[in-house]
Chains A and B, each alone.
Chain A
Amino acid sequence: MNSLHMLIFIPFVFAMAIPLLYKLFHPKIHLGWFVLLIPLVIFLYLLRYIPLVVNGDHLTTSLAWLPSVEMNLDFYIDGLALLFGLLISGIGVLVIIYSIFYLSKHREELHKFYMYLMMFMGAMLGLVFSDNIFILYGFWELTSISSFLLIAFWYERKSSRDGAMKSLLITVFGGLCMFAGMIMLTLITDTYSIREMILNVEFVQAHKLFIPVIICILLGAFTKSAQFPFSIWLPGAMEAPTPVSAYLHSATMVKAGIYLVARFTPVFGGSSVWFWLVSGIGIITLLYGSITAVRQTDLKALLAYSTISQLGLIMSLLGIGSLTFYFGPSEHGVTYSMAIFAAIFHLFNHSMFKGSLFMVVGIIDHETGTRDIRRLGGLMQLMPVSFTVALIGGFSMAGLPPFNGFLSKEMFFKAVNDVRVAEIFHLETLGMLFPLLAWIASIFTFVYSMILVFKTFSGKYRQEKLNRDVHEAPFGMLIPSVILAFFVVVIFFFPNVFSKYLLKPAFVAILPMFTIDKVDIKISAWHGWNTELLMTIGVVIMGSLLFITVKRWVPLLKQYPQWLTLNNLFEKSLEKVERYSLTITNRYMTGSIRHYFIYIFSFFVIVLAGSLLLLHGIQFDVSEDNVICIYDMGLVLGVMIAALTVLFTSNRMTAIVALSVVGYLVTMFFVIFRAPDLALTQMVVETVTTVLFLLCFYHLPKLQKNIGRIKFKLTNLIVSVATGLTITILALSSNSHKLFEPISYFFENAYELAGAKNIVNAILVDFRGFDTMLEISVLCIAGLGVYTLARFRMKGGDHNEAE
């Protein structure tokens, strides 16, 4: 147990202590102040590792958990994991400060909130630091579960429960797919360690399971990171408290899929399937999210779709960056590696500005009581600080200088422009789509960013639509968003500092073919009049035009039929699945014993007859059979006649008598096959059962006594004939295959062994006495059963009468 393990398990341990703290300090001190310590400690501790990763080193630690199956808590720190770790703990600190002022200590169940939040933080840290692929999976599912709990924090609301349910269904679906992919991956590489998998890349790429593995792992990443078409859970998750939305659904959890893709890029990168899936889905998500965001009227929904869109941007950059593995560290490869750098940079930037924007929206919601754009407006004078933060965040999101979004947007345009010259994977023709789609999506991004900032803060203040006096948020609520906004600006002016200490190590972790001292990346705000700048100018012009005319064309977007939305499709299909499964279940679970017997016998026939046919088991060998004598034939004839009488008679009494005829004829069989004990027993038992049958017959209810023969049903005939045939063939074939000597010779000297001349009895009481013992127990239980059935039914009847 070293410090890194402690670091990851501190949140879990602390989560256990929260109820105690709640009990001790509840109304006096807001619980968040205690919780604040944890991410702060983690953040400060993680800062210590920066010098390590700046040198391109990494740190591995291991703690035995299940050593026999190599399932150990292997954690390691490299640039990528550290970047994520710092984001998680750093934004965690800010979000907890925010939540202290956002959530009331009197009205909310804070202990639950912080327990879930700590669980989530620990899971997220474990996820990014895990080297063992299945430990990673465990933490992955824990983030899904804690996110589910957090979304449904206000569980009295139906929309919260629905949102939580939807997000759980989708993310766990993806998680399980990913689990399957991980299992296949471990089968291919024969290791659980991600680092070792990266060393065995050549096995993976050549293996026939390569494409299934990619699809499964990407399903996990896409569902978690809300890529198209799995993005629908993210807007639903906006029912969570705003600190949760800011933390989970903008900065951390939705980046888990990004982390996974980045982490596995060295394993899968360079193949066309990976490239097209990651960058193709990413760019579609970018476009879809940005267009859908424009037509939202709820601020949080707008931010949710904007998150989806930005995640798509990062994903597509990661896809483009994977081309580096195709070209290797050549000049071409270096060009595409810039896409990876852009992805990391934008990921970092997005966490900053999106976190701050969510917090601002939370403030607006908190102060005005609504998040609906149509009711808001003119808040600029009333909430100047919030406006400034929203302005910085919004302009950064739109990709304008002097904010960090500008830098990463420029790099994004550069990357999509470079795709065209790759000339592999059909990019010479389809590559043109990348810059085009990216440009269109950026215009819409610009538009919704402007809507977010100006529709909320400028225009006319409408007091009559708000039911409270609006004023600036408390100091504590503003602090975290101001800090984030401050970073948004600082990163623009000093990008290379962050690049050196955080981004480059992460870059090298994704692209192990580069070493840290050879990476020559300079981020500059001004890089000449090139295509990218022209594209940005185009975005601003087009975007401004569209924003001015927004009232004219947004209604057109709203014309889009409601039933065609992904959300609606999901809900309809869920409903359909439930209905069809009910229909199917009702169809075969009829409650009729006859049907169940048909299933049982059909299964029996299919399995037995099928295996007989497939294994060539049907062989008849009559050479060792005894000669059939006239008595045998007579008895068989008698049994057949009696059995057919049972089937075809119209009288129940006749059937019972015919059945006992069969029984007595079997007694005769025992006689001529020299089994006196069996014959005696069979005779007495047959008599008793006949009497019992007659008893049942006598008590049949008078009303429903329809006397008639068995109704003919074709299925019954087919199934019964097939069953009979199968049994007959099976018996004849097994009689023809005698693989081993019979064991009866052992019992033949029963007199010496057991002092008994009657072998049957010696077997029953001595050699196999255990069976007899249990059989008489069965008999005894049956007797008691009959007794209780006959007795306690009557008592129950009396009881009912008494009522």
Chain B
Amino acid sequence: MKPNDVILQSVTKVTVIIIFTFSVYLFLNGHHHPGGGFIGGLSTAAAIILLFLAFDIEKVRENFQIDFKKLAALGVLIAIGTGFTGMLAGDPFLTQYFNDKNLPIFGKTELATALIFDTGVALAVIGTAVSIILSISEGDSLWKR
């Protein structure tokens, strides 16, 4: 008999938004302030895990139709892929570029290829963390048998 956890679920609904926002902040902020792909990815994973705790795994799965193992692999691929862009221009592997551009809404913004690399890192971290938790918790029910 599962206890009714309305409070937990309601609080989670609000908190998850905040955590997601914070992780995106950490992730984007990484270039100039503490933060970055790794910690951003980890906190995103933390938010997802919170969802798993509050709701059923199946329910979260329905809403997040993502295979986290593939996500992790995609992250690694992106990170490696950014290395080749530098090679196209004749620079060594994993050369990063940056430039200031005037964008319509944001005004003068620094655009850096390091951000793409960081995206790869973040995706790899999210994918790995969540798939570890998921595979252990799925195995869990079987271990008890």
**Which residues of A approach B to under 8 Å, CB–CB?**
676-677, 680-681, 684-685, 688, 692, 695, 699, 754-758, 760-762, 764-766, 769-770, 772-773, 776-777, 779-780, 782-784, 786-787, 789-791, 793-794
Known contacts A684-B43, A699-B143; A755 and B98 CB within 8 A of each other? yes
Give Cα A692–Cα B129 distance, bound, in whole angstroms.
Answer: 12
Residues of A contacting B34 with CB < 8 Å? 676-677, 680, 758, 760
Give Cα A779–Cα B132 distance, bound, in whole angstroms.
Answer: 10
When the two chains form the complex, which single residue of A677, A685, A784, A789 contacts B36, counting CB atoms closer than 8 Å? A677
CB distance from B41 to the nearest CB of A (A): 9
When the two chains form the complex, which single residue of A756, A757, A784 contacts B69, counting CB atoms closer than 8 Å? A784
Interface of B is mostly: helix
Residues of A contacting B72 with CB < 8 Å? 779-780, 783-784
Say which size band chain B's interface belongs to.
Answer: 35 or more
Residue of A whose beta carbon sits closest to that of B121: A776
Q: Are A688 and B129 in contact (CB under 8 A)?
A: yes
Q: Are A765 and B121 in contact (CB under 8 A)?
A: yes
Give Cα A695–Cα B137 distance, bound, in whole angstroms.
Answer: 9
Q: Mark B122-137, 1 if CB is under 8 A from A, else 0.
A: 0011011101100110
Q: Are A787 and B83 in contact (CB under 8 A)?
A: no
Q: Are B125 and A758 in contact (CB under 8 A)?
A: no
Residues of A contacting B33 with CB < 8 Å? 757-758
Given contacts A776-B120, A787-B69, 10 further A-B contacts (CB under 8 A): A677-B36, A684-B43, A684-B46, A692-B136, A762-B114, A772-B121, A777-B124, A779-B128, A786-B131, A787-B131
Q: Are A755 and B80 in contact (CB under 8 A)?
A: no
Give Cα A779–Cα B34 distance, bound, in whole angstroms.
Answer: 22
When the two chains form the complex, which single residue of A681, A695, A760, A769 contacts B117, counting CB atoms closer than 8 Å? A769
Residues of A contacting B138 with CB < 8 Å? 790
Residue of B whose beta carbon sits closest to that of A687: B46
**Inter-chain residue pair count (beta carbon < 8 A):** 137
CB distance from A442 to the nearest CB of B (A): 83
Q: Are A680 and B79 in contact (CB under 8 A)?
A: no
CB distance from A320 to the nearest CB of B (A): 74
Residues of A contacting B3 with CB < 8 Å? none
Residues of A contacting B93 with CB < 8 Å? 770
Q: Are B83 and A681 in contact (CB under 8 A)?
A: no
Residues of B contacting A756 with CB < 8 Å? 31-32, 98, 112, 114
CB distance from A785 to the nearest CB of B (A): 9
Give Cα A764–Cα B107 distance, bound, in whole angstroms.
Answer: 27
Known contacts A677-B35, A684-B46, A757-B33; A787 and B98 CB within 8 A of each other? no
Q: Are A757 and B35 in contact (CB under 8 A)?
A: no
- Is B73 part of the binding interface, using a Cβ–Cβ cutoff of 8 Å? yes
Q: Mark B98-111, 1 if CB is under 8 A from A, else 0.
A: 11000000000010
Known contacts A755-B31, A787-B69; A776 and B125 CB within 8 A of each other? yes
Give Cα A780–Cα B122 distance, bound, in whole angstroms.
Answer: 12
When the two chains form the complex, which single residue of B42, B79, B127 contacts A783, counting CB atoms closer than 8 Å? B127
Q: Are A780 and B38 in contact (CB under 8 A)?
A: no
Q: Are A783 and B69 in contact (CB under 8 A)?
A: yes
Q: Are B76 and A761 in contact (CB under 8 A)?
A: no
Q: Are A773 and B83 in contact (CB under 8 A)?
A: yes
